[in-house]
Structure formats: C-alpha cells, structure tokens
Amino acid sequence: MELQETILRPVADSYTATTTPVRATRVAAPFPQRAAAPHRETALLPKAASVLIASERPLEAAALATWLSADSSIDVVGRHARAEEIASLLVDVQPDTLLVIGDSTNQPLFALAMRHSRLSPRTRLVIVSSEHSARTCAAAASAGASAHIAMTDAPEDLSAAVRGRTSLLANRCVQIAPVTHNAPPLSPRERQVMVHLAQGMSAKEAASALGICPKTVDNHTQRLMKKLGLHSRADLVLFAVREGIIIP
C-alpha cells in the first residue's frame, strides 16, 4: 500500500492549524501501588522516538502526524510550516528526528534541513518527497539525510526511518545515480572538496575547513564537474554517494 494513501485516510475529519503542536496521548494502565521500587515498571519501558515534522503542506503534515502518533514508540512533538519556528524547536527540544516533507524546491525548509545538525547535533534527518528521482535523492544526500522516503513507499519504511532503525538513502541513491564509466582519478584535494560540498557545506565553509580561500574551492568545483562530466552540485553529490566517497 502506498504511503500517500495510508496517511491521508485518517485525517479527513481531524485537520488542525499547521502551527498546532501534536502529541501522542498515552494513558497509563492502572496498577496496584507497591512499597518497594514503585517506578521499576516504567523504568523498563523503551523511550519513544521524538519527531518534529516540517512541511508547508498542512494536510500532509496533519496526516503524517496522526498516523505516526498512533505508534506508541513514536512521539510527535510538533509540526510547523515556518522555518524559523522549526529552528527554534530544534534548539529547544533536540528531537530524535526531523521529518521534512518536500525537497530543494522548498527553499526555506531545505535550507533549514541543510543546517539541522548545527542546531541539534543529535537529530537525524528524514526527507519525504513525492518520488525517488536523481534530483530528490541528491537533495536528500546533500542535506545529510539518513533516509529518503517517497509517497509510493510502504508506511513501515517511514516508521523505521523515523525510529532510526534503517538507512534508506545510500542504496537508493546508488540505484538512481547515473552510471559513469572510466571516471578519471581525483587528486586528494579534489576528493576533499567533493566530500565537504557533498556534506552540505558552502564554498566558504569548505574553504575554512580546508584552510584555503573560497575562490580556490570554486575553482576545484568547476574542475571537478568538467573532469567528471557533471553539470550541477546535485550531480556531484550523486557521484560521491555512488562511488562511496561519502556514505549518507
């Protein structure tokens, strides 16, 4: 069953505003009080995986929040459409997962996704797109996502990705990436530049990390794309993933 069909069905009558936080409600079963170790049972319960949903599409965000909240191992701590609100929650809540619906076509949310690890280093990124394609896969890889889910995937794939129990990015990127033959060898500096850019750094950030000037990074980038027959930074990311230069 497709993810899109599964998540939209439960929310036909339960739509709420995009800035309303959603939390799963859990009712503890009554148990007799004990004099010794009253909290032993709760201490043994596994911690729910907290997830923050970012989307400019309210219906899809509400559907995903409702569906995920039905899973007792997942705690939806909020859903928002504005990047600044999401950034604030990332810093304050430090959720286990940031779930972004969309890709590089949504510039504010994608820019936030690119820097999510700086706001909350412990938070993994999962990106949900309409399809698996070279463009959406490259966008997810360049943002540092641990999983890339399409609306045609099984709902269980999304749950597993949110809980951090699977990585669904690397293999799909390799499968989608265009096949190149007899790629010319890269110099150590070219590989360093490629790795930093593919991990989502700007030319200025990569230059600072490598101890060179941004113009030098730009020159290396242009030479890399010419040498490899690539036409964009997204192509560069796909090449880096396919060749095992980076592991998303």
CATH of the domain at 101: 3.40.50.2300
Instruction: Round to whole Å and give the CA distance between 87 and 71.
Output: 25
Task: Enter the DSSP assignment of 76.
Answer: E
| Per-residue confidence band for 131, with pLDDT thresholds at 50, 70 and 90 | confident
Q: Is 38 a member of any domain?
A: no
Residue 202 lies in a domain: yes
Which backbone phi and psi does 108 adopt, to 5 degrees?
-60, -45
- Tokens of residue 231, six digits: 């036409």
68 and 129 in a single domain? The answer is yes
Instruction: Read off φ and ψ for residue 53, nearest 5 degrees.
Output: -100, 130
- Give the C-alpha separation, 45 to 43, whole Å: 6
90-122 tens-digit pLDDT: 999 999 999 999 866 667 888 888 888 889 989
Distance separating alpha carbons of residues 35 and 43, to the nearest angstrom: 16
The residue from 176, 198, 216 where one domain ends is: 176
Residues 6+ apart with CB under 8 A from 173: 137, 138, 140, 141, 148, 238, 241, 242, 248
Q: Is 41 inside any structural domain? A: no
Question: Is residue 120 domain-shared with residue 199, that is, in the same domain?
Answer: no
In a domain, 226, yes or no: yes
- Report yes or no on 13 lying in a domain: yes
Q: How confident is the model at residue 86 (pLDDT cuts 50, 70, 90)?
A: very high
**C-alpha Rg value of the chain to the nearest Å:** 21
Q: Is the same domain home to 120 and 205? A: no
Q: What SS3 class is residue 54?
A: strand
Q: Enumerate the β-bridge partners of residue 74.
A: 49
Same domain, 50 and 149: yes
Query: Residue 183 falls within a domain, yes or no?
Result: no
- What one-letter code names the amino acid at 81? A
The reply to whether 161 and 210 lie within a common domain is no
- Whether residues 158 and 89 share a domain: the answer is yes
- The enclosing domain of 197 has a CATH number of 1.10.10.10
Tens digit of each residue's pLDDT (9 = 90 or more) over 215-234: 999 999 998 888 888 877 77
**Chain centre to alpha carbon of residue 198:** 15
Of 78 and 241, the structure prediction assigns the larger pLDDT to 78
Q: Say which residues have a Cβ less than 8 Å from residue 100's Cβ, sequence separation at least 6.
A: 54, 55, 109, 110, 112, 113, 125, 126, 127, 128, 143
The mean-pLDDT minimum among 111-125, 185-199, 233-247 falls in 233-247
Handedness of CA 118, 119, 123, 127 (dihedral sign): negative
- Residues 144 and 198 reside in one and the same domain: no
Over 60: is that where the pLDDT of 185 sits? yes
Question: Would residue 162 count as lying in a domain?
Answer: yes
Count of the separate structural domains present in the chain = 2
Tokens at residue 130, please?
A: 């309409």
Do 161 and 213 share a structural domain? Answer: no
Range of the domain at 99: 3-19+46-176
Same domain, 13 and 129: yes
pLDDT band at 182 (very low <50, low <70, confident <90, very high): low
- Residue finishing a domain among 141, 176, 211: 176
Alpha helices in the chain (DSSP H): 3-8, 40-44, 58-69, 83-93, 107-114, 116-119, 134-142, 155-162, 170-176, 188-198, 203-210, 214-228, 233-242
Cβ partners under 8 Å of residue 215, min gap 6:
none
Same domain for 136 and 197?
Answer: no
Give the rounded percent of residues in the chain with a pLDDT score beyond 70.
Answer: 69
Say if residue 163 is in the same domain as residue 219: no
Residues 118 and 192 reside in one and the same domain = no
